[in-house]
Copies of this chain bind each other. A is one copy, B any other.
Amino acid sequence: MTKKRYLAAPLLALSLLPPASTADEQDVIDYRRHIMDTLKAQTAALGMIMSGAIPDDNVVAHIDIIAATAATALKAFEPHVEGGDAKAEVWAKWDDFSARMNEFAAKTAAMAKTAHEQGKDEALAQAVDALSCKQCHDVYREKEKRGE
């Protein structure tokens, strides 16, 4: 009986976890950080171009990279592994979090489509709306944890 309970507990736990739960918890945290670091670096690069600090040769590439990365982000948060910069609210309010992430992916994809079909200036007009990073970070990301 004791043995049966011992076996049942982890099996039940596994059945409740999302697919990626076999990965080590630190791996999950590191992986999503790589994705968010990419978004941070690419939006910073785009911002430098938008401000005129850097010539705009790469602007469409940056927009494409942001859109491609945004599309990978939600998957990285599916395993319920708290820690890193993520607040517990990510999973406590998963419906809202995932809706916002999907909206982010959709808006950045639309911006990339505009860049290819209408041009960079038309695409950049969508940037402020598409890259409303702070609205999510205020709710779902720990503040100042990484000295940022």
Contact = CB atoms under 8 A, between A and B. Distances in A.
Nearest to A49: B31
A83 interface: no
B68 A54 contact: no
Contact of A72 (B35, B62, B71): B62
B75 A20 contact: no
A44 B34 CA distance: 7
Nearest to A26: B53
Contacts of A65: 38, 65, 68-69
A57 B31 CA distance: 12
Chain A's interface: helix, strand, loop or mixed, by majority? helix
Given A27-B53, A65-B69, A75 B58 contact: yes
- How many copies of the chain does the oligomer comprise? 2
Contact of A38 (B27, B31, B38): B38
A133 to B, nearest CB: 15
Contact of A20 (B33, B55, B69): B55
Contacts of A31: 45, 48, 53-54
B41 A27 contact: no
Contacts of A38: 37-38, 41-42, 45, 65
A135 B113 CA distance: 36
26 contacts: A20-B54, A23-B55, A27-B48, A28-B54, A30-B44, A31-B53, A31-B54, A33-B41, A34-B41, A34-B42, A34-B44, A35-B41, A37-B38, A38-B38, A38-B41, A38-B65, A41-B41, A57-B75, A61-B68, A61-B71, A61-B72, A64-B68, A65-B65, A65-B68, A65-B69, A68-B68
